[in-house]
Structure 1
Amino acid sequence: MKKTVLAATAAAFLVSACTTDPYTGEQKVSNTVGGAGIGAIAGAALGTLAGGNDRRNALIGAGIGALAGGAIGATMDRNEAELRAQLQGTGVSVTRSGNQIILNMPSDITFATDQDSVKAQFYPVLNSVALVLNKYKQTTVDVFGHTDSTGGDQHNFDLSQRRALSVANYLAGQGVDQRRFAVTGFGKTRPVASNATAEGRAQNRRVEIQLSPLT
């Protein structure tokens, strides 16, 4: 099952390399993550989906020390506190689950309808996230895209991936180490509310950023 997901994800990432420049909104090959570009983030994502330790090994090999013992909770506490301070009043929620932190970014404030270009007015919010990510480097960053149930399965799957990748690309463009990222689109398969109402569908259209300690 994971191999099937891997193949579909790889294909979608290659296609999405020609979609969006999050700085200008132009449709072109993305260069926001530097020379390695889409391939590096896609490679990190594939390593994660395969169940490997690619990101962990790459980061530790690059000299970023792993967290252990009480340093894990303390580091994530500082991450959480700074993210809550930076994101207050932005519409992005911060949730703590054990030693993981999840940022929920509703698509209605992040993207135009059916588009994968990050809205220019949302750049300052992502800049704030990038500041914290760059300050605390001992975390991995999973970016998850989700849609509501409107539209076809493949369209929703592709859109969720492109949106998640746009967010990851923007953050990488702000200096966040691209080796920390994994990007996954779930389409409509992980709703958090009922798709029977407009309010529920709005909650389901989201991009989530999950921070996990490097251990």
Structure 2
Amino acid sequence: MKTRIALLAASVGIVALGACTTDPYGQPSQMSKTQQGAVAGAVLGGLIGAGESKQNAVKGAVVGGLVGAVGGSMLDQQEKTLRQQINNPNVTVVNNGQNLTVTLPESILFATDSAAVSAQGQNDLYTIGRNLNQYPNSRIQVIGHTDSTGSAAYNQDLSERRARSVAGILSAAGVATNRISTVGRGQAQPIASNDTVSGRAQNRRVEIIVIPTN
């Protein structure tokens, strides 16, 4: 029963957004990240509120939708600004409505088997750091990845050192250290096949995850 109430409450926020998901000709269009954030917030708020009462479920959906919309709007703005600031086509920015993922390949950050950031990599990271300072209401997770060449233990250590090096540059760019955390994933999370040269190159990367805090 509570689940049905939560879903009904969440639908209030979703229906309210329906008018925003059509183009000028009345045809369906893809939701913006702001709208996606509002829907996610409405669902979460409804589920939380349903634990208390039907009234709180609806209230939770409305409040959650507003909070989600604010977070999504901030991400939309930050994504747009960051794309304008970064002058490197090899750096990718993905906005999934909940966070931003900035991916930098090894080729622009490090020499082979090295954790020392290159000059080009430092320039890109300083640009990202300035952007993070423009949008301070977030926490940052820096994740290092490698391909499967070499031992798992070596790759794990390399990924951790690379994540720390990138975090160090962001800190040098003025990003508060208490906003940044680092983790190494080693070879555990490939995004392409390690059986090809191009696949291994894609797997050797550092991801900077920007997670809104309010």
TM band (smaller chain): 0.5 to 0.7
Task: Give me the CA root mean square deviation.
Answer: 1.3
The equivalent of 2:77 in structure 1 is: 78
The equivalent of 1:207 in structure 2 is: 206
**Where has structure 1 moved over 3 Å in runs of 4 or more?**
none
Secondary structure, aligned partner of 1:94? strand
Q: Aligned partner of 1:183: which letter? A: T
TM superposition score normalised by structure 1: 0.67
C-alpha separation in 1, matches of 2:209 and 2:175? 14
The equivalent of 1:19 in structure 2 is: none
Residue 138 of structure 1 and its aligned partner are, at CA, apart by 0.4
C-alpha separation in 2, matches of 1:103 and 1:69? 21
Please give the per-residue CA displacement for 1:59-80, whole angstroms capped at 9, x wherever unaligned.
Answer: xxxxxxxx93432111111110
1:176 matched to 2:172? The reply is: no
Alpha carbons 1:148, 1:188 under 8 Å: kept: yes
Alpha carbons 1:130, 1:174 under 8 Å: kept: yes
C-alpha separation in 1, matches of 2:92 and 2:122? 16
C-alpha separation in 1, matches of 2:88 and 2:181? 27
Gapped regions of structure 1 (runs ≥ 5): 1-66
1:114 matched to 2:113? The reply is: yes
Structure of larger gyration radius = 2
Structure 1 residues 199 and 184, CA, compared in 2 at 3 Å: closer, same or farther? same
The equivalent of 2:92 in structure 1 is: 93
* Larger relative helix fraction: 2
The equivalent of 1:11 in structure 2 is: none
Please give the per-residue CA displacement for 1:91-141, whole angstroms capped at 9, x wherever unaligned.
Answer: 100111122110110011110000000001222111110111001000110
C-alpha separation in 1, matches of 2:178 and 2:88? 30
Please give the per-residue CA displacement for 1:132-177, whole angstroms capped at 9, x wherever unaligned.
Answer: 1001000110100000000001100000000011000110111101
Secondary structure, aligned partner of 1:68? helix
The equivalent of 1:125 in structure 2 is: 124
The equivalent of 2:196 in structure 1 is: 197
Alpha carbons 1:90, 1:125 under 8 Å: kept: no
Q: Say which is worse superposed, 89-98 or 125-134, in terms of deviation.
A: 89-98
Alpha carbons 2:76, 2:95 under 8 Å: kept: no
Structure 1 residues 73 and 152, CA, compared in 2 at 3 Å: closer, same or farther? same
Alpha carbons 1:93, 1:105 under 8 Å: kept: yes
Residue 87 of structure 1 and its aligned partner are, at CA, apart by 1.8
Greater relative contact order structure (CA < 8 Å, 6+ sep): 1
% identical equivalent positions: 43
The equivalent of 2:150 in structure 1 is: 151
Secondary structure, aligned partner of 2:181? strand
C-alpha separation in 1, matches of 2:86 and 2:195? 30
TM superposition score normalised by structure 2: 0.67
C-alpha separation in 2, matches of 1:165 and 1:112? 16
Count of residues in correspondence between the two structures: 149
Residue 82 of structure 1 and its aligned partner are, at CA, apart by 0.9
Alpha carbons 2:75, 2:97 under 8 Å: kept: no
